[in-house]
Amino acid sequence: MAKLRSDGVAAPVIVGERVVRRVEGFVVDVVSPGAGGQRLLIAPVSVSGLTPDQTPRRVRVTIGENAIPAPGQAIRVRTMLGPPPPPAAPGAYDFARDAWFDSIGAVGFTIGQIDIVRLDPPPIRLRLAMAVNAFRWSLAERLLTRMGSTSGGVGAAMVTGHEAWISDAQTEAMRASGLAHILSISGLHMAIVGGFVFVAVRLGVATWPWLALRAPGKKIAASAGLIAVIGYLVVSGAPPPAERAAITASVAFLAILFDRRAITLHGLALAALLILLLKPETAGEPGFQMSFAATAALVALAEAWPRPVREISTPWWIRVPQAMVAWLAASVAASLVAGLATAPFAMQHFNRVAVWGLPANLAVAPLSSFVIMPFLAIGAVLEPVGLGEPFLAVAGWGVDAMLAVANAFANAHGAQQVVASAPPQILVVAFLGLMILCLWRGRLRWIGAPLALSVALWPRPAPPDAWIAADGATAAVRSGDAAVLLRADAKRFGAELWARRRGLEPVTWSLYACDRRVCAPALGAPVRLALVWSRKTPDPETLSGLCVQSEIVVLRAPAPRRTPPLCVDTILLTGEDFARLGAAELYRRHDGWRIVWAQPLRGERPWSSPLTAGVTQRD
């Protein structure tokens, strides 16, 4: 299935360096913002310099300060366009892999204004997709208008998946407090929406005696919940987390329709198998690993949770406190178990630990479950007919309270810790430990606990002494627990990603003398590394001067025709090296340097260059 899937989504991919191209096409959707700002997904009709068989199926561009065009509009724009980026560091997340399975063959940023034009009508399938996305965009704008700019952006993201109006400060606060998962439409949202509809319909059937005596209320409610989940999936734009959650919820509701238990590990396994059959690439995605680890842990907790004996004729003033204590204990246990189950994956993939995540989630859980999501759902359904304002107002109050909680915990002492990634095989050990804890019955299940904690407990290897970007345009060196960035304004995202992955703090100390084209090591630099980021090869005199004062010289440009004699004993990395081998990490050894490249670790894949086949590590 993985082979069939990777071949089925195959589409042209631009090759070579980024160059300026004119793109004409249709705005398919407004996707989540990147480090550079708002982004569009475009179905190009034509791209200058490319023949029709070379034109990518989809293009993703950052639009800068331009106004955001709505999905469905035909546009013309000049862009700096190139292939999807390779991993920022050896063994890091491969963004080109995601782009391949989304049929995105080029990424870049706009130059100048976006012009609205007229083009021939697109194929019917594309028109339907753009019509759905246009409805989502319109609904998101209405939610923003009704709820205000502060809470409206979060509300629009939770309903439609559009994160265009969430500020960087809000995103960082949610991330530092461990609440960022609420912004991404996933299992929590599907469970609340589907469960709310299920309970409401079942209660409605039960309050109508004639219908309750003649119809299976539970199955009617399950059918309504299934319809609600599918409808929410469409409105959300069907991002991968929402697709996974919808399949899992659908399996639970179908189990009720076929007189089976809704929440079981068997049902969860069936949902996982369905997802892997439809999209096998999700097995390597952090979202899939985290969502099913958390759900498996919660189902195992539900199966092991003791069932209290219900007492007969207990006074309400005793029954209510007992119910509150039981609900609080269940909430603490669920948040703790879900947090522990996802912690190994969060550490390994994202290198962040939200220290106050448990109390923050406990504080927000009642808001999201009983206020924000139900009232957002009702308001979104009624908004097209103009009746959603009072419900959206209540949801806005809930969002404001949630943001206040997020800010409070994000600003608490030591709210967020950076953790270096463990060796890749250790995540497999942690996964096996989680499965033993969830699947084994009896006390022997606890032998999985130390294995599940292996990512946190495993000693980290010594971090690299230097890092160089995949195109040779920037670099960073290690100084103690800090990653000194040579060019703080270039490739910042990749540099910070590498630093976090190695457990380092990115800084911009003045250890290198930089001008408009060159960075040279100053006195006291931890690694004598010189960087020439100009696309023009330096003259022999300049290159010789850099080699004299450096042990490593990095050229973004091609290698000189003749290596200067003074550079014979210097490690010289050139544009040809980066084109073939990608990003690099350098380790100091007693007898020289060891260089680990990114491309050999990717293997020979459809989304990686065939030039990398057979490449070995270089000493």
> DSSP characters for 50-95?
--GGGS-SEEEEE-TTSPPPPTT-EEEEEEEEEPPP--SSTTS--H
Asked if residue 617 is part of any domain, the answer here is no
Tokens standing for 44?
């190009």
Are residue 11 and residue 69 in the same domain, yes or no? yes
User: What pLDDT is attached to residue 331?
Assistant: 82
Are residue 445 and residue 577 in the same domain, yes or no? no
Domain boundary among 95, 121, 147: 121
348: how many CB neighbours lie within 10 A of its CB? 22
Tokens standing for 418?
């950076």
Asked if residue 318 is part of any domain, the answer here is no
User: What pLDDT is attached to residue 400?
Assistant: 95
Are residue 197 and residue 83 in the same domain, yes or no? no
User: What pLDDT is attached to residue 430?
Assistant: 96
Residue 400 CA to residue 342 CA, distance in Å, equals 27
Asked if residue 314 is part of any domain, the answer here is no
Residue 50 CA to residue 55 CA, distance in Å, equals 6
449's CB contacts (< 8 A; 6+ apart) are 433, 437
Are residue 486 and residue 517 in the same domain, yes or no? yes
Are residue 117 and residue 128 in the same domain, yes or no? no
Instruction: Please identify every stretch of the chain with a pLDDT value under 70, giving residue numbers as ranges.
Output: 609-619
Asked if residue 486 is part of any domain, the answer here is yes
Are residue 248 and residue 387 in the same domain, yes or no? yes
CATH number at 48 reads 2.40.50
User: What pLDDT is attached to residue 326?
Assistant: 83
Tokens standing for 209?
């005696």
Beta pairing class for 466-468 and 584-589: antiparallel
C-alpha distances in Å from residue 87, one per residue of 94, 290, 495: 5, 21, 11
Cα dihedral 85, 90, 92, 95 in deg (nearest 10): 20
Q: Provide the CB-side half-sphere exposure for 612 (13 A, CA).
A: 21
Tokens standing for 188?
């929590």
Contact 593, 608 (CB under 8 A): no
User: What pLDDT is attached to residue 277?
Assistant: 93
User: What pLDDT is attached to residue 616?
Assistant: 38
Are residue 606 and residue 490 in the same domain, yes or no? yes
Are residue 187 and residue 240 in the same domain, yes or no? yes
Are residue 381 and residue 509 in the same domain, yes or no? no
Asked if residue 276 is part of any domain, the answer here is yes
User: What pLDDT is attached to residue 609?
Assistant: 63
Are residue 404 and residue 275 in the same domain, yes or no? yes
Q: Is 109 helix (H, G, I), strand (E, B) or coil?
A: strand
Question: Please, what is the Cα angle at 498 between 494 and 501, to 5 degrees?
Answer: 140
User: What pLDDT is attached to residue 372?
Assistant: 93
Are residue 404 and residue 519 in the same domain, yes or no? no
Tokens standing for 528?
């004598």
Asked if residue 524 is part of any domain, the answer here is yes
User: What pLDDT is attached to residue 306?
Assistant: 80
Contact 21, 50 (CB under 8 A): yes
Asked if residue 13 is part of any domain, the answer here is yes
Are residue 392 and residue 294 in the same domain, yes or no? no
- Separation of CA 258 from chain center: 35
Domain that holds residue 54: 2-121
Residue 316 CA to residue 321 CA, distance in Å, equals 9
Asked if residue 320 is part of any domain, the answer here is no
Total domain count for the chain? Answer: 4
